[in-house]
Amino acid sequence: MSTETACPLTARDYKSELKPVWCPGCGDFSVLMAITKALAETGRRPEEIAVISGIGCSSRLPAYTNCYGFHGVHGRALPLAAGLKLSRPDLLVIAAGGDGDGYSIGGNHFLHACRRNVDLTYIVMDNQVYGMTKGQPSPTTPPEWDSALAPGGTGLRPFHPLVIALAAGANFVARSFSGDPANTAQLVLEAIRHPGFSLIEILSPCVTFRPEDRNWAKRVHPAAVDETQDRARAARRVLTDDGFNTGILFRGDRPPYQPPYNPAEAGPVDFEVEFRP
């Protein structure tokens, strides 16, 4: 079967037939649209792409693409994606999921993925809530947000994923809003093209459990200053902004971690000499 095709692929070619399980109005629909649009721009064919996720509403995303995909266990998308990319550097590997999946149960992997800097793009659909389990607070939920599991709010300071990513060594950090799919697609494409570990945090409202977040559309605004290569400046900016400024916040130049695959100069038989007494 020939993989060549005369006409360029469009976003549709990266979408599967499957109908998403998401609630009407969920921000993740637009994120899916933006991702498929970006993929069409990469020039990579669907079979050369793998989309890896954990568990959550947002983590259902791989099945809605026409790429290879892995819907694994809660919180472990990043190591699975890293294992795939390290053993198959030829593939374009994307990890996707939610704030609970990536920052809570998968928090340790998040730190080490930033530090390891494998050439991956990590798309977090941050809705500041556990959507799939029906409305519990996540590490990015505001402290006063009332819920059945945390009556009166958690009282806990939300986690600053972008600052943490910067401190841990992520090579590209951006923020976007699902309500702006054109810009989101552009940012996803930039993230994919940038070597190393790229984090793109997409504010993607959960209309069912946090309907108040529909107003995010009014709050987001493009970053007032240009992107920087200076980690400290980027971190200061993210720490002091209102959490709604979008765009590329940091673009680093760390070389990606990809240990060389030496051509197989030895096979197991060659190690036999070591076992002579």
Partner 1 sequence: MKEISEFQRKACTIAMLGSGGAGVMTAAEILLRAAGRAGYYGLMTKSFGPQIRGGEAAAFVTLSTAPVDIQGDQVDLLFAMDWQNTERFAGELHISSDTLVISGLPGAEPPAIVAGHQPTLVEVNLKAMTRSHKGTRPNMVALGVVAGALGLAQETVNDLVNERLTAKGEDAMAHGTAAIELGYGEAEDLDFDPLPASDGDTPRWIISGNQAAGYGAMRGGVRFAAAYPITPATEILEWLAPRLQKAGGLLVQAEDELASINMIIGGAFGGAAVLTATSGPGLALMSESIGLAVAAEIPLLVIDVMRGGPSTGIPTKSEQSDLNIAVYGLHGDAPHVVTAPNSIPDCLFTAQWSTHLAESMQVPVIMLSDQSFGQALGIVDRPAELAFATRRQVATTPAAADYQRYAATLSGVSPMAIPGTPGGQYIADGLEHTETGTPSSGVADHNKQLEKRLTKVVDFDYGNHWAEIEGSGPAAIITWGSTTGPVRQAMQRIDPHGERLRLISLRLISPAQPDRLAKALAGCGRIMVIEQSQMAQFFGHLKAQFDLPIHADLYARPGPQPFRADEIAAKLEDWLS
Ligand X SMILES: Cc1ncc(C[n+]2csc(CCOP(=O)(O)OP(=O)(O)O)c2C)c(N)n1
- Contacts with ligand X by CB under 6 A lie at 55-58, 74, 97-101, 125, 127, 129-133, 138
**From the CA atom positions of the chain, what is the Rg in Å?**
20
Among 26, 33, 38, 69, binds partner 1 (CB under 8 A): 69
- Distance, in Å, from the CA atom of 199 to the CA atom of 81, rounded to the nearest integer, reads 14
Beta bridge partners of 125: 98, 202
* For ligand X, the closer CB: 101 or 201: 101
Query: Interface with Mg ion includes 59 (CB under 5 A)?
Result: no
Among 25, 43, 83, 211, binds partner 1 (CB under 8 A): 83
Among 50, 173, 188, 234, binds partner 1 (CB under 8 A): 50
Report in angstroms how near the CB of residue 121 gets to ligand X at its nearest.
17
* For ligand X, the closer CB: 95 or 125: 125
Cα–Cα distance list, 85 to 25, 49, 255 (Å): 33, 10, 15
With 0-12 CB in 10 A as exposed, 13-18 as middle and 19+ as buried, what is 205?
buried
Interaction partner, residue 99 (Mg ion, ligand SF4, partner 1, none; CB < 5-8 Å by kind): Mg ion
- Distance, in Å, from the CA atom of 60 to the CA atom of 98, rounded to the nearest integer, reads 10
* SS3 label, residue 50: strand
CB 162 within 8 A of CB 199: yes
Q: What is the DSSP string of 168-186?
A: HT-SEEEEEETT-HHHHHH
* For partner 1, the closer CB: 86 or 163: 86
Query: Interface with partner 1 includes 8 (CB under 8 A)?
Result: no
Which residues, numbered 194-223, are part of the site for ligand SF4 (CB under 6 A)?
A: 206-209
Interaction partner, residue 26 (ligand X, ligand SF4, Mg ion, none; CB < 5-8 Å by kind): ligand SF4
Query: Interface with ligand SF4 includes 126 (CB under 6 A)?
Result: no
Cα–Cα distance list, 272 to 17, 49, 262, 263, 267 (Å): 52, 39, 20, 20, 10
Interaction partner, residue 130 (ligand SF4, partner 1, ligand X, none; CB < 5-8 Å by kind): ligand X
Tell me which residues touch Mg ion (CB under 5 A).
98-100, 127
